[in-house]
């Protein structure tokens, strides 16, 4: 079997993981996998079914009938399809973020999505971002990066992104959402957000996107050359 190169990028919400991972994947010709989008799709499915975000039994009953697929368009953008419906934009809504964080704390949801994520790394060179990629999904990844930044700066970045998309919200609301998810994602017992032992730690507070991109792409290229 061919051996593919995997890069795991983990870290809290708004640290810049997806933007930077996408840019690096494009430059290096890797497949970019946004695993948060998969959890968001499960969260949206629960929301659409009228199940409360913390109702583990309700979500569990929903999983067997759940048809989630993922594809990449010509520009490399990952699109999420739920039961035939393209939900790529809808899963970015703030209320879906809370659902995603709550359902992602459920062990059966994590187990349900594990093989889908691993399968991609067995068939492609990947840059995969999430919360548990280096610790659980791809423990043998060639490179693991833990990306973070101060919560206030992450909230400001996320707020600016949402404004551009025309989503009505306030900075305070976005900061509250980030703080809620930081706590939820790192305190859960199933695959909590934490750096893998051998992760390269990067704090992007005060960095421009371009600076973080060059730094991380350089680290990946250096590791690939070894």
Q: Which residues bind ligand DC (CB under 6 A)?
A: 13, 35-36, 39-40, 100-101, 104, 130-133, 181, 185
Pick between residue 44 and residue 220 the one whose CB is nearest to ligand DC: 44
Whose Cβ is closer to ligand DC: residue 186's or residue 198's?
Answer: 186
Three-class secondary structure of residue 7 per DSSP = strand
Which whole-number Å values give the CA distances from 208 to 15, 36, 164, 165, 219, in the listed order? 12, 23, 18, 21, 17
Tell the smallest beta-carbon distance from residue 98 to ligand DC (Å). Answer: 8
Cβ proximity of 51 and 62 under 8 Å: yes
- Give the span between the Cα atoms of 198 and 200, in whole angstroms: 7
- Least distance to ligand DC, CB of residue 70, Å: 13
By C-beta, is 79 or 224 nearer to ligand DC? 79
Query: Min. distance of Cβ 9 from ligand DC in angstroms?
Result: 10
Q: Indicate the residue among 132 and 220 with the shorter CB distance to ligand DC.
A: 132
Is residue 56 within 8 A of residue 72, CB to CB? The reply is no
Asked whether 110 and 73 are in contact (CB, 8 A), the reply is no
Smallest separation (angstroms) from ligand DC to the CB of 129: 7
């Amino acid at each position: 079997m061919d051996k593919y190169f995997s890069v795991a990028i983990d870290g809290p919400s708004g640290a810049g993981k997806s933007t930077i991972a996408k840019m690096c994947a494009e430059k290096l010709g890797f497949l970019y996998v946004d695993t948060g989008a998969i959890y968001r799709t499960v969260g949206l499915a629960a929301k659409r079914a009228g199940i409360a975000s913390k109702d583990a039994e309700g979500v569990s009953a929903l999983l067997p009938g759940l048809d989630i697929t993922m594809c990449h368009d010509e520009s490399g953008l990952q699109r999420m399809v739920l039961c035939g419906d393209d939900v790529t934009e809808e899963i970015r809504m703030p209320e879906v973020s809370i659902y995603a964080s709550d359902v992602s704390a459920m062990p059966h949801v994590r187990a349900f999505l594990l093989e889908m994520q691993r399968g991609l790394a067995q068939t492609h060179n990947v840059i995969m971002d999430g919360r548990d990629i280096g610790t659980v999904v791809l423990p043998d990844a060639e490179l693991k990066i833990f990306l973070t930044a101060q919560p206030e700066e992450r909230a400001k970045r996320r707020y600016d992104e949402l404004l551009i998309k025309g989503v009505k919200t306030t900075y305070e609301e976005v900061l509250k959402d980030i703080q809620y998810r930081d706590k939820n994602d790192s305190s859960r017992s199933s695959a909590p957000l934490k750096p893998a032992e051998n992760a390269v730690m990067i704090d992007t507070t005060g960095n421009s996107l371009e600076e973080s991109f060059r730094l991380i792409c350089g680290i990946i290229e250096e590791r690939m050359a070894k």
